[in-house]
């Protein structure tokens, strides 16, 4: 047993960042034990960079001088002190980073990759779908041109948001435009098509959307309804046969249960960096498996998150497919992790080294350190892919 003796919280980003705001900064956690072992974690930001940073300091106060191996006990200790933890993304994100970093240390102590500590691997590679590829796409041809590039990289599946600037309500004309984009890709590529709604629609609008595209057989439709419209999701479920995915904003395993017991979801999407870490992400998958529901972990931030998520993918029986932004990151983010996992021809593989198995480029930690909030654009929400929240110009 060894205690956590030092904590470093490092925000990384780049002035003039060209990627979408939610991806323009990341928070890296580095913990060191009394034995000199190092562990890394990551917390998401999404226009909450500095609040999450400050909350990581609070988690650090609880974890400092605790036995690093007692991951569950330390998690519950912070849960006890954090009054709003189950519904506070700042708290769950901060806690997730410490939980992941602790697993990294424990794996190194035992000389085992994390997936071995979770029961061993069930697969040797993980199917990925591409996201973040469709910046500045508005027309069907825009989407098709970039989708062809993604297909040439070896991906067999892509996720995208074809709904332009529609929010809450959507006009029939815009449902038709989204349908033309989806239909174009379906007819002119061999890709599985995952449709992203970003939780933007009222139930009535989501019903119009799914009725307008379900014959195109999307792989799944993600967050079709505002996340706080639980009853609206029930109404949608009664009206459509499309496979529904959700969960990136569900902040612990217990909060998935109402969706599962009400049969409102086919694919859950916990995010290891805000659901509470690896244990909560794994137990969410176990819970879903009891209902015959599959898992496609949300993974939209940085490479430490990707590494942690892949260990889960290797070890859960109900894995479906894995989100990947890797090919569309800025150079600094691509370079942060020098080794640990690979993405080739649409599949991820881990290197099998202890803990997370990653090697961090310390130069990136120094060169791209910042204290900024993500950029804010009043014309485009931070959750969209850059340059897409606008209407197609009439011809």
**What DSSP element (H or E) covers 158?**
strand 157-160
> Catalytic residue among 81, 198, 226, 311, which?
198
Q: Helix (H, G, I), strand (E, B), or coil: what is residue 55?
A: helix
Distances (CA, A) of 123 to 24, 74, 129, 153, 241: 32, 30, 17, 22, 30
Q: How far apart are CA 22 and CA 248, in angstroms?
A: 13
Name 107's Cβ contacts closer than 8 Å, sequence gap at least 6.
113, 114, 116, 117, 354, 355, 356, 357
Distances (CA, A) of 262 to 49, 165, 202, 211, 231: 34, 31, 19, 21, 10
* DSSP assignment letter at 156: S
- Give residue 36's Cα distance to chain centre: 31
> Catalytic residue among 81, 226, 298, 311, which?
298
Phi then psi for residue 149, to 5 deg, are -65, -40
Is 198 a known active-site residue?
Answer: yes
Is 298 a known active-site residue?
Answer: yes
Q: How far apart are CA 318 and CA 160, in angstroms?
A: 23
Q: Helix (H, G, I), strand (E, B), or coil: what is residue 11?
A: strand
Q: Which residues are catalytic?
A: 198, 298
């Amino acid at each position: 047993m060894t205690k956590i003796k030092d904590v470093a919280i490092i925000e990384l980003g780049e002035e003039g960042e060209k990627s979408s705001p939610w991806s323009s900064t990341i928070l890296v956690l580095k913990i060191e034990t009394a034995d000199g072992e190092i562990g890394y974690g990551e917390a998401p930001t999404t226009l909450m960079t500095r609040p999450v940073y400050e909350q990581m300091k609070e988690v650090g106060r609880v974890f400092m001088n605790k036995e690093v191996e007692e991951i569950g006990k330390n998690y519950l200790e912070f849960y006890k002190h954090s009054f709003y933890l189950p519904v506070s993304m700042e708290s769950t994100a901060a806690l997730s980073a410490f939980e992941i970093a602790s697993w990294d240390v424990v794996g190194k102590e035992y000389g085992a990759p994390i997936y071995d500590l979770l029961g061993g691997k069930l697969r040797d590679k993980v199917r990925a779908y591409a996201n973040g590829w469709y910046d500045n796409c508005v027309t069907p041809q825009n989407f098709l041109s970039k989708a062809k590039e993604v297909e040439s990289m070896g991906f067999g599946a892509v996720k995208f948001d074809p709904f332009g600037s529609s929010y809450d309500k959507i006009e029939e004309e815009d449902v038709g435009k989204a349908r033309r984009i989806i239909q174009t890709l379906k007819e002119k590529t061999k890709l599985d098509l995952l449709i992203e709604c970003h939780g933007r629609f009222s139930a009535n609008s989501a019903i119009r959307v799914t009725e307008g595209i379900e014959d195109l057989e999307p792989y799944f439709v993600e967050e079709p309804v505002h996340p706080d419209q639980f009853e609206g999701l029930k109404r949608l479920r009664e009206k459509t046969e499309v496979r529904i995915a959700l969960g990136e904003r569900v902040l612990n395993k217990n909060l998935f249960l109402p969706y599962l017991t009400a049969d409102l979801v086919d694919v859950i999407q916990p995010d290891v960096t805000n659901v509470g870490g690896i244990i909560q992400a794994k137990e969410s998958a176990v819970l879903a498996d009891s209902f015959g529901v599959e898992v496609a972990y949300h993974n939209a931030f940085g490479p430490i998150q990707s590494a942690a998520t892949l260990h889960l993918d290797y070890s859960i029986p109900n894995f479906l497919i894995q989100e990947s932004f890797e090919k569309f990151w800025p150079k600094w983010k691509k370079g942060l992790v020098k080794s640990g996992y690979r993405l080739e021809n649409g599949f991820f593989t881990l290197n099998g080294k202890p803990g997370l198995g990653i090697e961090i480029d310390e130069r990136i930690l120094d060169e791209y350190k910042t204290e900024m909030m993500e950029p804010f654009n009043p014309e485009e929400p931070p959750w969209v892919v850059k340059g897409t929240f606008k209407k197609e110009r009439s011809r």
